[in-house]
A and B are shown apart, each in its own frame.
Chain A
Amino acid sequence: MTTFLDALTWIADPANWGGAQGISARLLQHLAVTLVAVLAASALAIPLGILIGHTRRGRGVVVALAGAVRAIPTLGLLTLLALLLGVGVEAPLLALVALAVPSVLAGAYAGIESAEPAAVDAARAMGMSELQIVRNVELPLGAGVLVGGLRAATLQVVATATLAAYTSDTGLGRYLFIGLKARDYPQMLAGAILVAVLALLLDRLLATAQDRASRLAHSTEGTP
């Protein structure tokens, strides 16, 4: 228990918050890397997921591909890319995008596919264009599932961004590895606590967003 208190004391110490190696800087870095990776993955995977969900084509290929990506150990991808691209932030960022894509893609196509076929047919019969169907029918109906995919991707990225500190001087994970190397358990534990709290907060935030997005489907149900 004393180690735990030491870790909390370490976090509470204002001296550990300032500067380029401080908690605030590393926290922002961790958040920025996560945000960039999830946004980049979304830019790639959401349009593709919508296309697959709407046309119902290519699902098998994507599922198989995403399954294979899922089986790649994240640490392997990180170390491999670090050897190939150097110890900068580019290698982990690329790895994070690659790891986020399957979850975002799965959420996007599963969301679009979850739209009631009768609703889609009705929209088509009313003369909506395919683009209008996606925007006005399928996206609102599938928004909850789509945000669920973003949530899963974000969790994965926050966790993997911690491992990224093994190959590059990035984010909160650095405290873990510095502490590990120096056998400084309180600092290591402090890093672990900070990452865990960040992950939990992001998860709650996205869970709320997911709830809101799911309600979109119900609000459309009522309109004539």
Chain B
Amino acid sequence: MTWLENNSDWVVELTIQHLFLALAAIVASVVLAVAVGRVAYVRPRVRQPILAAASVVYAIPALPLLIVIPLVLGVPLRSPTTLVVALTLYGTALLVGTVVDAFSTVDAGVRDSAVAMGYGRQALFWRVELPLSVPVLLSGIRVVTVSTVGLVTIGALVGISSLGTLLTDGFQRGITSEILIGVLMTMALALALDGALVALGRLLTRWQPRRRRRARTPLGSTEVIV
């Protein structure tokens, strides 16, 4: 582990870059998926086309997606924007189905009561539907988070620097410990963000009875495409 001692500054720098790339893609995925999923939920007519499109995008492997994006957007291949856009598309595709499921779990009675109490469409969404869909939503966001943190490493193949750089650099120079550090740091980052999401979920779902608030693992229902 002398390699780590000699390169700790670089590892910290790459970890921070990795974190920012992942966070940008995760936040953008969540916002986009909630918006698109909301439309799919409210309008059953477009639900099937939206879900079908999501499954097509999700089926495209990440590296080819990364290579096609510069052509469409006109940004350089090595730009961080390319990676964030690719991972956002991916994350959104993965999450849209869960968002529809999440809104479907909101009890119709609760919704009707809110309407009867005079909630408008906006208030209904922000103060009733969104908070109540948090548990299911969060299980999907956790899957996207773990997957996105891992996928950021692929950017290193086209020269976008992140912890993935340790994987490509370590491979080219034949340094096993460098790759190991890259793998372990990426996993640690994924687990840390996952833990943060669980904590956030607890804060946001105070209304749930404690014993029913069992954390869902990233290997939940979203993983098997049904």
**Contact partner, B187, options A71, A84, A152, A176, Cβ 8 Å:** A71
Contact B217 A63 (CB under 8 A): yes
Flag if A192 contacts B218 (CB, 8 Å). Answer: no
- Residue with the highest number of chain B CB atoms closer than 10 Å, among A188, A191, A196: A196
**A contact residues around B154 at 8 Å (CB):** 74-75, 163
**Residues of chain B at interface, number, CB under 8 A:** 47
When A75-B154, A203-B55 are in contact, do A196 and B224 touch as well, CB less than 8 Å?
no
* Contact indicator A162/B61 (Cβ below 8 Å): yes
Which of A73, A188, A199 is close to B67, meaning CB atoms less than 8 Å apart?
A: A188
Q: A54 near B: Cβ within 8 Å?
A: no
Contact across chains for B59 and A155 when beta carbons are under 8 A apart: yes
Q: With an 8 A cutoff between CB atoms, is A148 at the interface? A: yes
Contacts of A64 in B (CB 8 A): 217
Q: Say whether B64 contacts A193, CB under 8 Å.
A: yes
A71 to B146, CA, bound (A): 6
Residues in A with CB closer than 8 Å to B221 are: 110
Q: Which residues of A contact B62 (CB under 8 A)?
A: 159
On chain B, the residues within 8 Å of A75 by CB distance are 153-154, 156-157, 164, 167-168
A106 touches B217 (CB 8 A): no
Check B158 for interface membership: any CB of A closer than 8 A. Answer: yes
Most buried by A among B157, B164, B183, B223: B223
Q: Give Cα distance in the complex from A204 to B59, angstroms.
A: 9
**Known: A67-B218, A80-B179. Is A163-B63 also a contact (CB below 8 A)?**
yes
- In the complex, the chain A residue whose C-beta lies closest to that of B194 is A71
A180 and B157 contact, CB distance less than 8 A: yes
Q: A71-B150, A71-B187, A84-B176 are in contact. Are A191 and B219 (CB under 8 A)?
A: no
B224 touches A103 (CB 8 A): yes
Contact (Cβ within 8 A) B153 A76:
yes
A53 vs chain B, min Cβ distance (A): 13
Contacts of A163 in B (CB 8 A): 63, 154, 157
B224 touches A110 (CB 8 A): yes
Closest CB-CB distance, B20 to chain A, in whole Å?
17
- For residues 103 through 137 of chain A, which have their beta carbon under 8 Å from a beta carbon of chain B? 103, 106-107, 110
Q: Closest residue to B156 on the A side, CB-wise?
A: A75
Interface size class on chain A is 35 or more
Question: Between A and B, how many residue pairs show CB distances below 8 Å?
Answer: 148
B174 within 8 A of A: yes
Give the residues from 40 to 91 in chain A that come closer than 8 angstroms, CB to CB, to chain B: 63-64, 66-68, 70-77, 79-80, 82-84
Report yes or no: B219 in contact with A102, Cβ–Cβ below 8 A: yes
How many angstroms between the C-alpha atoms of A64 and B216 in the bound complex? 11
Within 8 Å by CB of A176, from B64, B153, B164, lies: B64
Q: From A76, A151, A158, A196, name the one whose CB has the most chain B CB atoms within 10 angstroms.
A: A76
What residue in chain A is nearest B58 (Cβ atoms)? A155
Q: Tell me which of B55, B56, B183 contacts A80 (CB under 8 A).
A: B183
A170: interface (CB < 8 Å):
no
Mark out the residues of chain B between 70 and 118 whose CB falls within 8 Å of any chain A CB in the assembled complex: 71
7 other A-B residue contacts (CB within 8 Å) besides A67-B218, A148-B226: A70-B219, A75-B167, A75-B168, A106-B224, A158-B61, A166-B171, A192-B64
Can you report 24 residue pairs joining A to B where beta carbons are below 8 Å apart? Answer: A3-B71, A66-B219, A67-B217, A70-B218, A71-B187, A75-B153, A76-B153, A79-B170, A79-B179, A82-B171, A83-B179, A103-B223, A103-B224, A106-B224, A110-B224, A148-B224, A149-B224, A151-B225, A166-B157, A167-B171, A176-B64, A192-B67, A195-B63, A200-B60
* Residues in B lying within 8 Å of A, measured CB to CB: 55-56, 58-65, 67-68, 71, 146-147, 149-151, 153-154, 156-158, 163-164, 167-168, 170-171, 174, 176, 179-180, 182-183, 186-187, 190-191, 217-219, 221, 223-226
